[in-house]
Structure 1
Amino acid sequence: MEKSHYAVFVYGTLQPGEKYHDPYCGGFVVDAYPAIAYGELYDLPVGYPAMTVGDRPIQGCCLIFDNPEILVRLDELEGYVPGRSPHENEYQRELTEIFNLDLSRTGTAWIYRMVAERAIARGGKIYPTSPWTGRV
Structure 2
Amino acid sequence: MSLHIFVYGTLKPGATNFDRYCGTKIITSHRAYIGGKLYHFPSLGYPGAIHGFGQVHGFVFSFDDRSILLELDELEDYDPQRQPAENDYTRELVTTYTLNGNFHRSTWAYFMNPQHVRQFGGVLLPDGWWVS
TM-score by length of 2: 0.96
User: Would you say the 8 A contact 2:76–2:110 is kept in 1?
Assistant: yes
Matched, 1:100 2:98: yes
* 1:12 and 2:9 aligned: yes
> For 1:129 and 1:107, how far apart are their aligned partners in 2?
22
1:36 aligns with 2:47: no
Aligned residue number for residue 118 of structure 1: 116
Alignment of 1:1-136 (within 5 A): 4-45=1-42, 46-134=44-132
Question: Secondary structure of 1:87's match?
Answer: helix
Distance 1:53 1:83 in 2: 22
Q: CA deviation digits over 1:51-90, x for unaligned, max 9?
A: 0011201111001101010001101100011132111011
For the aligned residue pairs, the C-alpha RMSD in angstroms reads 0.9
Which structure 1 residue ranges, 4+ long, deviate > 6 Å from structure 2? none
CA distance in 2, matches of 1:123, 1:57: 20
Q: How many residues align?
A: 131
Between structures 1 and 2, the one with greater strand share: 2
The runs of 5 or more residues in structure 1 that have no matched partner are: none
2-structure distance, mates of 1:6, 1:84? 23
Normalising by structure 1, we get a TM-score of: 0.93
* Contact 2:33–2:55, Cα closer than 8 Å, also in 1: yes
Whichever residue aligns with residue 76 of structure 2, its letter is E
